[in-house]
Amino acid sequence: MTKEIKKRLGTLRQAMAASGIDLTVIPHSDPHQSEYMSPQWHLREYYSGFNGSAGDLVVTPDEALLWTDSRYFLQAAQQLEDTGIKLMKAGLPDTPSIASFIITALKPGHTVGIDGLIYSADESERLEKTLARHDIKLATDFTAAADNRTYRPELPDSPVFIYEEKYAGEGAKHKIGKILNAAAGQGAEAAFVTALDEIAWALNLRGSDVAYNPVFASFLYLSARGSTLFVDDIKLDGQVKEYLDALDITQAPYSEAASFLSALPSDVRILVDPSKASRAFIDALGDKAVKTASPIPELKSLRNEVQVQGLHDAMLRDGVALVNGFAELETRLSAGERVTEMEVGRILSRYRAEQPLYFDDSFGTIAGFKEHGAIVHYEADVASDAVIAGDGLLLVDSGAQYLDGTTDITRTISIGDPSPEERHDFTLVLKGHIALAMAVFPEGTRGAQLDALARMPMWAEGKGYLHGTGHGVGHFLNVHEGPQSIRLNENPVTLKPGMLTSNEPGIYLTGKYGIRCENLMLTVPAFTTDFARFLKFDTVTLFPFDLRLVDTAMLTDEELRWLNEYHKRVHDTLSPCLDEKGRAWLDHKTRPLTKNEYSD
């Protein structure tokens, strides 16, 4: 494979030379600025071999470099080995930004080439301004990589289907009205939507064009004078077409969005989010564009009563599947069966698929044993698939898409006998998890103001983690969604009732083990005083932590009380839905702990 990567880079460099391009940047992106994409847009992976969900490849005539964040440092190092591509660890003090590297690598008069169809307007405009100060040009029409059809599959043709209002809790017509009202507040009479999850939410439609994410390739133009969905006709059956007609939405081919925007009257003002719309669409709109943040992410992040109830129902079914799955895993390991990391994912998927309203997993299961657990977004393949045997920690991050909710959970469990170091670090992570779960905060609080709560127990010992603590989760949509987050990076979005966010601190020791404790939490009202209205988190995930890894001597009385109360709620909620074997397993896993106890 490394020889093939070098050959592909050679072909790319020939195309660069033919087009007068001195450096090109290939982002992990598509025309919708998606984190997870259909295979047609996996260009960076094609040219580098790195398949993480974040990272940009920079290629010059003489070198190639890949920037990615801390979640993928170990994975990228392994996948880039012998390719000649240098790993650039983004976010570390000694790592320059891509723009800074370009300025030092190129001379005045040189040209950087990017594909404006897959590069966001915001990023390309920032890069263009920075380069212009150094007399370096930016060409946004370099599409040599995108035009290489020898390896690229066609766009998916999977069918679009209607997402029933009994699960969505709100009709598409009402949602469209709210979107256009928000656009009017920004001086626009129409809106152009490019993000796939936003389109799916707005129209109450779903698809399966992207693995694990129930979205479909499309663009959406909304206007009170008539709207247009740009989606290939092969994906729509008669029922969906009638549904769209009733919403006064016409259809046009996916490829015609840019030409449609160019042809709109010059006096029309169209709201478009430059952080999510590609440069090509912003250029097509020209002065018609009202460039501002899309109102849709916040609208869809605020779950209504139907969605909240659906979420609790989905979590119950997911908890039942997890109990059955982990009980089988333990039984098979105890019997001496050969079980690998990939088999863990298959076990959990099988039990989830037995549950009502299951649609798919919400991402590829991460099951990392021992040192593999230290690779934050590790996903086993045939070459790396480790046998789970002996003593060590198994980190399992998994989730499911149910019609009434999306789940995401990480548990770290001990295989064999845990060491004192493993218990200690696990309890540090658990303390951080509990601190955030117990947070009470005034309305208007941002995630960045709470993030340190989860890190403090680790920071006190000089330990920590580089990824965010919490991400938003969609409702039968993408497992990673904004606008809310809990991370050290500043995010102006405040936490509001109805927002669903993960709580997942961790510790990762290269070559040894990884530990992460993740639940999903719903922001809910707490109480109101003369000072402010206060909010708190309601933990909605239902599955026990591994009691054998808890050092209760390290827990405060309040932390121990939280853990025991959480396990009691897990037990009381799931037990009525389990068979006798499952109840016995759960009884043991949720028994209350006492101070200074090592559980076995």
Taking only the tens place, the pLDDT of each residue in 1-44 is 788 898 899 989 999 999 999 999 999 999 999 988 888 888 89
Centre a 10 Å sphere on the Cβ of residue 595 and count the other Cβ atoms it contains: 10
Mean pLDDT of 63-85: 88
Report the alpha-carbon distance of residue 396 to residue 584 in Å, rounded.
Answer: 22
Q: Measuring CA to CA, which residue among 319, 328, 485 is closest to residue 405?
A: 319
The pairing of strands 519-528 and 500-503 is antiparallel
Report the alpha-carbon distance of residue 566 to residue 143 in Å, rounded.
Answer: 53
**Per-residue pLDDT, 376:** 85
pLDDT-based confidence at residue 144 (cuts at 50, 70, 90): low
Delimit the domains of the chain by residue range: 2-139, 161-296, 302-589
Indicate left, alpha or beta for 511 from its phi (over 0: left) and psi (-120 to 50: alpha): left
Mean pLDDT in the chain? Answer: 94
Residues constituting the chain = 600
What's the CA dihedral at 422, 427, 432, 438 to 10 degrees? Answer: 150
CA distances from 250 to 238, 239, 313, 501, 505 (A): 13, 14, 36, 35, 46
pLDDT-based confidence at residue 146 (cuts at 50, 70, 90): very low
Report the alpha-carbon distance of residue 89 to residue 66 in Å, rounded.
Answer: 8
pLDDT in tens, 112-122: 999 999 989 99
Q: How many Å separate Cα 263 from the centre of its chain?
A: 35
The pair of three-digit structure tokens given for residue 473, joined into one six-digit string = 């989760």
CA distances from 157 to 29, 38, 209, 261 (A): 20, 11, 7, 24
| Percentage of residues of the chain with pLDDT beyond 90 | 86
Per-residue pLDDT for 152 more than 70?
no
Q: Measuring CA to CA, which residue among 547, 550, 525, 469 is closest to residue 502?
A: 469
Report the alpha-carbon distance of residue 539 to residue 501 in Å, rounded.
Answer: 10
3-class DSSP assignment, residue 113: strand
Written as one letter, the residue type at 492 is: P
| Contact present, 169 and 304 (Cβ < 8 Å) | yes
**Per-residue pLDDT, 597:** 65
Q: Return the CATH superfamily for domain 161-296.
A: Creatinase/prolidase N-terminal domain (3.40.350.10)
Instruction: Indicate the range of 29-43, 225-239, 314-328, 534-548 predicted with least confidence.
Output: 29-43
pLDDT-based confidence at residue 599 (cuts at 50, 70, 90): very low
Mean pLDDT of 339-364: 97
pLDDT-based confidence at residue 155 (cuts at 50, 70, 90): confident
pLDDT in tens, 246-300: 999 999 999 999 999 999 999 999 999 999 999 999 999 999 999 999 999 999 9
Q: Return the CATH superfamily for domain 302-589.
A: Creatinase/methionine aminopeptidase superfamily (3.90.230.10)
- DSSP per-residue codes, 468-488: -SEEE--SSS-SSEEEEEESS
Mean pLDDT of 140-161: 75
- DSSP per-residue codes, 398-462: E-EEETTEE--EEEEEEESPPPHHHHHHHHHHHHHHHHHHT-EEETT-BHHHHHHHHHHHHHTTT
Report the alpha-carbon distance of residue 118 to residue 34 in Å, rounded.
Answer: 10
Written as one letter, the residue type at 320 is: V
Q: Measuring CA to CA, which residue among 140, 138, 139, 136 is closest to residue 109?
A: 136
Report the alpha-carbon distance of residue 154 to residue 73 in Å, rounded.
Answer: 31
3-class DSSP assignment, residue 253: coil
The pair of three-digit structure tokens given for residue 49, joined into one six-digit string = 């071999």
What CATH architecture is 2-139? 3-Layer(aba) Sandwich (3.40)
Report the alpha-carbon distance of residue 350 to residue 352 in Å, rounded.
Answer: 5
**Per-residue pLDDT, 145:** 55
Q: Measuring CA to CA, which residue among 235, 233, 179, 237 is closest to residue 203?
A: 179
Same topology, domains 161-296 and 302-589? Answer is no
Mean pLDDT of 223-239: 96
Report the alpha-carbon distance of residue 578 to residue 355 in Å, rounded.
Answer: 12
pLDDT-based confidence at residue 150 (cuts at 50, 70, 90): low
**Per-residue pLDDT, 151:** 60
